[in-house]
Structure 1
Amino acid sequence: MFGTALAPTTLEGWLNAHPHLPGILLAALCLLILFLVVLPRIASRRRGKGRPVLDPVQVEELVTGSGALVVDLRSAEDFRTGHIRGCLHVPFAEFPQRFTAPDPKARRALVLVDETDELAHQAFDLLTQRGFTWLYVMRGGMKAWRRTNRPLAR
């Protein structure tokens, strides 16, 4: 009537009519996977911008070298699944009551750790407001620690 073409009824006809579509779909799928893998790391880098952050290897060296104290902010259940050897477990809910003021005799750096580093940055802000110095956040949290195959204590 108006010269409209009928849509292809078979898969082969559809692919012949739109040969570029499978490539576009594959590219879109690859971009989606890349986005889902990289997004948590981007968020971690944005939170840590302008702050003293350490990667897991640096934390391990700092703990074994100068004896920094790692403060694990995760829940008790997460802590029992594995933690950094020698760390102090202080769940984030208890954190404000446990760290009220810096000890003037303390000479050790504090490294704040949680599962992803989101809570560690919140704790960092609280401690700096209360006058603490020598603070670090482990970038990526315990997920990054496990991803780099660092040792876990149970």
Structure 2
Amino acid sequence: MNDVLHKLPEFASNHLALVGLFVAILLALAGTEVATLFRKWKGLTPAGLTQLINRDSPLMIDLSASADFEKAHVPGARNVAMSQFDPEHKDLAKAKDLPVVLIDKDGRTLSKPASRLIKAGFTKVFVLDGGTYAWQNAQLPTAKGKK
């Protein structure tokens, strides 16, 4: 181990591009983790969503494309097109005190809608990590069709 530490400066000086790439990746990972700590909404696993459904009856909004929603969705979720999503809408504004769970096909595009809900005054905002795919992979029941 001691020998490795003595050779490290020589390796670093001979491989500046690799060291720079390593530092960039390390900073990107650290930045992502810090951003996760300070965001106001929380991610849920499929098991966590199941517990929330059983405990609090949340409003579940599925922002998937209509065709994806019709193929499979979390039972009880309502489909809203991403372009139609408006946290200030009068029907949605009535649910500011309820837990609101955002879902999409794979969980990748929900940070902006979640942040919009927080800005609109919603206090209990959740996102299903991995989206409907994660729900299906956990072998939980899905619904099909428009409702």
TM range (shorter): 0.5 to 0.7
Maintained 8 Å contact 1:54/1:138: yes
Which of 59, 62, 83 is matched with 2:49 structurally? 59
Which of 100, 109, 112 is matched with 2:88 structurally? 100
Identity over aligned pairs, percent = 24
TM-score w.r.t. structure 1 length?
0.62
Task: Find the counterpart in structure 1 of residue 103 from structure 2.
Answer: 113
Q: Which runs of 5+ in 1 are unaligned?
A: 1-41
- CA 1:135/1:105 → structure 2, altered by over 3 Å: closer, same or farther? closer
TM-score w.r.t. structure 2 length?
0.65
Q: Does 1:71 align with 2:24?
A: no
Matches of 2:95 and 2:112, distance apart in 1:
25
- Bigger Rg, structure 1 or 2: 1
Residue 94 of structure 1: CA displacement?
0.6
* Greater helix fraction, Structure 1 or Structure 2: 2
RMSD across aligned C-alpha pairs, in angstroms?
2.4
Maintained 8 Å contact 1:92/1:119: no
Matches of 1:148 and 1:117, distance apart in 2:
15
Aligned residue pairs, count = 109
Q: Does 1:135 align with 2:105?
A: no
Query: Aligned with 2:52: secondary structure?
Result: helix
**What amino acid maps onto 2:138 in structure 1?**
T
Residue 70 of structure 1: CA displacement?
1.0
- CA 1:109/1:80 → structure 2, altered by over 3 Å: closer, same or farther? same
Query: Aligned with 1:123: secondary structure?
Result: helix
**What amino acid maps onto 2:88 in structure 1?**
T
Maintained 8 Å contact 2:102/2:114: yes
Residue 121 of structure 1: CA displacement?
1.4
Q: Which runs of 5+ in 2 are unaligned?
A: 1-28
